[in-house]
Chain A
């Protein structure tokens, strides 16, 4: 069978989702953000909820998320996305409201807003990209930075006595009565991407069904910040990030029958 015979519309099994805007992203080559954006766009399309979706973008590398997915967006102040989403959701009960936040936005400056929105059980989805570093500002330490990890503000490696310990925030969120689903996923392999997509789908379904707050943490890479190639970053993540941030569901309250 020739290449021309295979490349026909009826044989297409994977393509760029229509909801992704036809633009170059500002993300570095190999950045996990692109994969997560793609699966969000796919899901909003497949679940037929793009018209109801309101995304809340953070401050950080994903600040321009609104330039990439063709839905309504609100760009929030640093860390405040869960508060912004709280009101957007409460005042528009039919909307599917989700935040998209990095580790600096969610687990440093926005810890209070995150915990309280989750504790109130706001019917929102929090997508949390944890790459253990501040990407946008040039690779400084995040709360999630691992001990020993070198960043622009821990050039000799993070030390517990100087900088405290890496913060695992998803277990805290899982302990709150307001959350219905807290899971940790990754997007470094095709299988992981498919699982992450299923997790975000469940989270979107929870929000539409008003079951409370869903949190999907994506343990991610920042190859520029980590000063590795994208493929090396994936290996480094598996070896170093997963022991501290193990993948899997931390909480999954199945709906009452």
Chain B
């Protein structure tokens, strides 16, 4: 059986902390920084539980600021 490994990178500087990616993620990978803000004062998104990512790109698809990159590996040997 194949296993899917996913990962996202978020451009913290471009992120406006709108939370739409957090809502869109089916595996609850993402969260907004609870304390830290970027240069423009936004609590930017970050992968709080990166291991749960399946690389589905739901987060990046709904991101209005195009600040999420998605990577995906399907390992057929597992």
Task: List A residues at the B interface (Cβ < 8 Å).
Answer: 1, 3, 5-8, 11-17, 20, 24-25, 27-35, 38, 187-190, 193-194, 229-231, 234
Main secondary structure of the interface of B (DSSP, over half): mixed
Question: In the bound complex, do residue B62 and residue A189 qualify as a contact, i.e. CB atoms below 8 Å apart?
Answer: yes
Contacting A at CB under 8 A, from B1-20, are: 5-7, 9, 11, 14, 16-20
In the complex the two chains form, what is the Cα distance from A128 to B20 in whole Å?
A: 22
Residues of the A chain whose Cβ atoms lie less than 8 Å from the Cβ of B55: 6, 13
Task: Answer whether A229 and B62 are a contact pair too, CB < 8 Å, given A11-B72, A190-B57.
Answer: no
Q: List 15 A-B contacts (CB under 8 A).
A: A1-B73, A5-B5, A7-B7, A14-B68, A14-B70, A28-B16, A29-B42, A33-B64, A34-B65, A35-B63, A38-B66, A190-B56, A190-B62, A194-B61, A234-B20
How many chain-B residues does the 8 Å CB contact rule pick out? 35
Residues of the B chain whose Cβ atoms lie less than 8 Å from the Cβ of A5: 5, 73
Question: In the bound complex, do residue B24 and residue A190 qualify as a contact, i.e. CB atoms below 8 Å apart?
Answer: yes
CB distance from A36 to the nearest CB of B (A): 9
In the complex the two chains form, what is the Cα distance from A31 to B68 in whole Å?
A: 16
